[in-house]
Amino acid sequence: MCVKVIILCATFGLVSGAGVLPDSVDAALGGTVMFTTSLAPTQTPFISISWSTGTKNIITSNAGGNFTGPEYEGRITLFISTGSLELRNVALSDTGQYRVNIIPAGAAAIVGSIILNVYEPVSNVRVTVSSSDLVEFNSSVTLSCSAAGASLTTFLWLNGSIEVTASDRGHLTDGGATLTITTVGRYDQGPFTCKVSNLVSSNISDPVQLSINYGPDGAILSISPLLDYYEEGSDVSLSCSADSRPAAQFKWLLNGELLSFTGAQIQMINIQTSQSGNYSCQAFNSKTLRYKTSQPASISVLRRITNIHVESSSNEPIEGTSVNITCDASGPIFTRKWLINEQELNPSENIVFYDQKRVLSFTVLKRKDSGKYVCEISNPISTQTTVYTLSVIYGPENVQISGPKEIQVDKTVKLTCFSDSVPAANYTWIKNGTVLTQSSEYIKSMAGSSDSGQYICRASNEITKKTSEAAHTVFVSAAQESLSAGAIAGITVALLVVVAGAAAGGFHVYKHQKDRRLSKNSLKEQHVYENPSTAHNFNTDEENVYENDLNAYDRHL
Q: How far apart are CA 196 and CA 204, in angstroms?
A: 6
**Cβ atoms of residues 203 and 122 within 8 Å:** yes
Higher pLDDT, 553 or 306: 306
Residues 263 and 131 in one domain: no
CA atoms within 13 A on the CB side of 115: 4
Q: Is residue 297 part of a domain?
A: yes
State which of 168, 186, 209 marks the end of a domain. 209
Q: Residue 3 — pLDDT band, cuts 50, 70, 90? A: very low
Residue 150's pLDDT is 64
Q: If DSSP states are collapsed to H, E and C, what string results for 217-279?
A: EEEEEEEECCCCCEECCCCEEEEEEEEEECCCEEEEEECCEEEEEECCEEEECCCCHHHCEEE
Q: Look at residue 484 and tell me if it is in a domain.
A: no
504 within some domain: no
* 276 and 137 inside one domain: no
Do both 422 and 371 map to the same domain?
A: no
Q: Say yes or no: 165 and 222 in one domain.
A: no
Domain count, the chain: 5
For the chain, helix (H) and strand (E) counts, in that order, are 3, 44
> Average pLDDT for residues 422-437, to the nearest whole number?
96
Least confident of 104-118, 252-266, 395-409, 524-538: 524-538
Q: b/e per residue, 521-557, with b = 16+ CB within 10 A? A: eebbeebeeeeeeebbebbeeeeeeeeeebeeeeeee
Going by the DSSP 8-state scheme, the letter that residue 508 receives in this structure is H
More confident: 3 or 488:
488
**Which amino acid, 177?**
A
**Residue 84 lies inside a defined structural domain of this protein:** yes
CA 16, CA 196: separation in Å to the nearest integer? 40
Tens-digit pLDDT profile for residues 518-528? 334 434 443 43
| pLDDT value of residue 148 | 86
pLDDT-based confidence at 149, cuts 50/70/90?
confident
> How many other C-beta atoms are found inside a 10 Å radius of the C-beta of residue 394?
22
Q: Is the pLDDT of residue 207 over 80?
A: yes
Domain match, 8 and 55 both: yes
Q: State residue 133's pLDDT score.
A: 86
- Which of 280, 302, 324 represents a domain boundary (last residue)? 302
Does position 487 have pLDDT exceeding 60, yes or no?
no
Mapping DSSP to helix (H, G, I), strand (E, B) and coil, where does residue 189 land?
coil
- Count CB neighbours of 294 within 10 A: 21
Contacts of 378 by beta carbon, 8 Å cutoff, 6+ apart: 305, 333, 334, 335, 337, 384
Contact 208, 129 (CB under 8 A): yes
What is the torsion angle, in degrees rounded to the nearest 10, for the CA atoms of residue 227, residue 230, residue 231 and residue 234? 90
Residue 471 to residue 454: CA distance in whole angstroms: 6
Report the pLDDT value the prediction gives residue 63, as an integer from 0 to 100: 87
Are 292 and 310 in a shared domain? no
Q: Inform me whether the pLDDT recorded for 515 exceeds 60.
A: no
Check: CB of residue 112 under 8 Å from CB of residue 23: no
Give the tens place of pLDDT for each residue, 457-484: 999 999 999 999 999 999 999 875 444 4
Measured from the Cβ of residue 438, the count of other Cβ atoms closer than 10 Å reads 12
Q: What is the DSSP string of 355-420?
A: TTTTEEEESS--GGG-EEEEEEEEETTEEEEEEEEE--BEEEEEEEEES-SEEETTSPEEEEEEEE
**Residue 57's domain spans which residues?**
2-119
- Would residue 130 count as lying in a domain? yes
Mean pLDDT for the stretch of residues 493-510: 33
d(CA 344, CA 341): 8
**Quick one: pLDDT band at residue 17, thresholds 50, 70, 90?**
low
- Are 406 and 538 within one domain? yes
Query: Is 90 exceeded by the pLDDT of residue 355?
Result: yes
State the CATH number of the domain containing residue 437: 2.60.40.10
Do 346 and 424 fall within a single domain? Answer: no
Q: Do 459 and 469 contact (CB within 8 A), yes or no?
A: yes
| Shared domain check, 400 and 541 | yes
Nearest Cα to Cα of residue 122 among 91, 146, 147, 145: 147
- Count Cβ atoms below 10 Å from residue 472 Cβ, excluding itself: 21
The tens digit of pLDDT for each residue in 56-95 reads 999 999 988 999 999 999 999 999 999 999 999 999 999 9
486: in domain: no
Mean pLDDT value across residues 369-391 = 96
* Residue that is last in its domain, among 73, 94, 119: 119
One domain, residues 91 and 193? no
pLDDT score, position 501: 34
Asked if residue 244 and residue 184 are part of one domain, the reply reads no
Q: Regarding beta strands 323-330 and 306-312, do their DSSP bridges make them parallel or antiparallel, or are they unpaired?
A: antiparallel
Higher pLDDT, 429 or 15: 429
Predicted structure pTM score:
0.59
Q: What is the pLDDT of residues 43-58, one digit of tens each?
A: 888 999 999 999 999 9
Q: Per the domain annotation, does 543 fall within a domain?
A: yes
Residue 161: burial class (beta carbons within 10 Å; 0-12, 13-18, 19+): exposed
- Asked whether residue 429 is domain-assigned, the answer is yes
Residues with Cβ < 8 Å from 546, sequence gap 6 or more? 519, 520, 523
26 and 52 housed in the same domain: yes
Confidence of residue 200 (pLDDT cuts 50, 70, 90): confident
**pLDDT tens digit string along 274-329?**
999 999 999 999 999 999 999 999 999 999 999 999 999 999 999 999 999 999 99
pLDDT reported for residue 480: 59
